[in-house]
């Protein structure tokens, strides 16, 4: 039986994890087995740049925290587990893990997670990981809106050039 001091510190960790899970727009549990220290440092840097918190977590304490938050991840919280959470772009954690695993050809994998309050499987999160970032999607939509305008501008410019270029040539022929 653990002493009262250790028990209180574990309860505090569970409460902090519960709060983080509840306030996050996305939480992704990652199996980081087989990743080198240099790769882990690079991965953490990418998470920081995207506004994602990443930490290795104790499975038992995280299991208690997910249950307190209303989720059940007891089947995936085993082995080497890290938790990536964000209050920003909900697709960012899954996308970073997928891109990093592909680029570095390592076995870094998603175990499961939560996006906008919904429990998602590893397969669902991997599909999210293949989506472009929010900024890229906004750029694609804006590009779609601007394409017809750009085409119109090009056509009008060609008509203008034709009229300017054609008028002097016709005048010199007379």
Write the CATH number for 57: 3.30.70.1730
Report how many domains make up the chain: 2
Do 115 and 147 belong together in one domain? no
Do 77 and 122 belong together in one domain? yes
| Residue tagged 């939560």 (tokens) | 114
Element (H, E) at 4: helix 4-23
Q: Could you tell me the mean pLDDT of each successive run of 10 residues in the chain, 174 residues long?
A: 81 91 92 89 92 92 92 90 90 88 83 89 81 71 77 84 67 46
pTM for the model stands at: 0.72
Domain that holds residue 55: 4-131
Q: What is the pLDDT of residue 118?
A: 86
């Amino acid at each position: 039986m653990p002493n009262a001091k250790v028990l209180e510190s574990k309860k505090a960790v569970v409460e902090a994890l519960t709060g983080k899970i509840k306030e996050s727009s996305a939480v992704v549990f990652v199996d980081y087995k087989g990743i080198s220290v240099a790769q882990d440092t690079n991965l953490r840097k990418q998470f920081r740049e995207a506004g994602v918190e990443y930490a290795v977590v104790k499975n038992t304490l995280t299991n208690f925290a997910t249950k307190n938050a209303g989720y059940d991840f007891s089947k995936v919280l085993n082995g080497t587990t890290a938790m990536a959470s964000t209050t920003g772009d909900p697709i960012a954690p899954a996308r970073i893990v997928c891109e990093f695993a592909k680029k570095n050809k390592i076995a870094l994998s998603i175990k499961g997670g939560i996006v906008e309050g919904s429990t998602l499987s590893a397969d669902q999160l991997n599909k999210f990981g293949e989506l472009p970032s929010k900024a890229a999607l906004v750029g694609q939509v804006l590009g779609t809106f601007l394409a017809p305008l750009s085409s119109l501008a090009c056509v009008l410019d060609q008509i203008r050039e034709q009229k300017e270029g054609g008028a002097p040539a016709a005048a010199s022929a007379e």
